[in-house]
Homo-oligomer: A and B are copies of this chain.
Amino acid sequence: MDFEEIVSNRRAVNFFNPDKPIDPSLVKKMVEMASKTPSSFNLQPWNLIVLTEKEDKLRLQKCAMNQEKVSAAPVTMIVLADNEGFFEGHKTVEQVFQENIKAGTMTEKQRDWFQTARSRLYGKNEKTIQAFSCKNAGFFAMALMFAAKSLGIDSHPMDGFDHGKVMAKFNIPDNFYIPLLIAFGYFDETKSLPAPKWRKGYDDIVVRF
């Protein structure tokens, strides 16, 4: 499937075939494909909680306006955006720095510069922190849905959940923000998919002031 087909055929699917699980190797494959997503300074401030057990999915469903697809989908993920993902001392930040040294793209002497650049760009205030984490997690979530589609797996991104409740029920540490949940599975062919939704055209998107 070429990208034009993927981007055109990817649809938010409301009904998943409850009898068609996703092979665990495909779940791994789609996460690994999405791991190539670009990010700010390569900091990759994203994580996933992957739910496959009915009990876990029902627990999430209760925090998500009781939307049936949350538990009907064979795999439902909680996407996490890491608001501390640019902090000095963060495990990934340190690894990115060390890998850059190894690759010869940074030197140990640039540690201060690297830290100052990160905190100046992302640590200014709550808005810049949230933009950093949610934009990058957005890149990753989008890549994950495209990767799924390229493997024949349907998805449904969801905002309809109680953020505080999901944080509490899944013991998610405070450094994370949940930009969305995503249900993954195979479309239930006994249902019908509505026509593709209206989209803004080129002239609505491109502006000048």
Most chain B C-beta atoms within 10 Å of own C-beta, residue among A1, A46, A48: A48
The digit string for A119-162, where 1 denotes a CB below 8 A from any CB of B, is 00110001110110011111101110111011000000101100
Q: Is A60 an interface residue (CB 8 A)?
A: no
The digit string for A17-54, where 1 denotes a CB below 8 A from any CB of B, is 00000000000100111111110111010111110000
Complex-state Cα separation, A149 to B146, whole angstroms: 14
A149 CB to nearest B CB, Å:
8
For A, the interface residue count at a CB cutoff of 8 angstroms equals: 84
One of B50, B99, B131, B137 near A197 (C-beta < 8 A): B99
A86 CB to nearest B CB, Å:
10
Complex-state Cα separation, A58 to B50, whole angstroms: 45
Q: Is A107 an interface residue (CB 8 A)?
A: no
Contact A44 B200 (CB under 8 A): yes
Number of copies: 2
Complex-state Cα separation, A47 to B208, whole angstroms: 10
A90 CB to nearest B CB, Å:
12
Contact A47 B207 (CB under 8 A): yes
Q: Which residues from chain A sit less than 8 Å from chain B, CB to CB?
A: 1-4, 6-8, 10, 12, 28, 31-38, 40-42, 44, 46-50, 80-81, 92, 95-96, 99-100, 103, 105, 117, 121-122, 126-128, 130-131, 134-139, 141-143, 145-147, 149-150, 157, 159-160, 163, 170-173, 177, 179-180, 194-202, 204-209
> Can you name 16 extra interface pairs (CB under 8 A) apart from A3-B149, A8-B33?
A12-B38, A35-B202, A35-B205, A47-B206, A49-B208, A99-B198, A103-B194, A105-B194, A122-B159, A127-B177, A128-B163, A130-B134, A134-B134, A134-B135, A170-B209, A172-B209
- Name 29 interchain pairs, CB-CB below 8 A, sorted by A: A3-B149, A4-B33, A4-B150, A7-B143, A28-B202, A36-B196, A38-B145, A40-B159, A44-B199, A44-B200, A46-B205, A47-B206, A49-B208, A96-B198, A103-B197, A105-B194, A121-B160, A122-B159, A126-B126, A126-B127, A127-B130, A135-B137, A135-B141, A137-B138, A138-B138, A139-B139, A143-B146, A170-B209, A173-B209
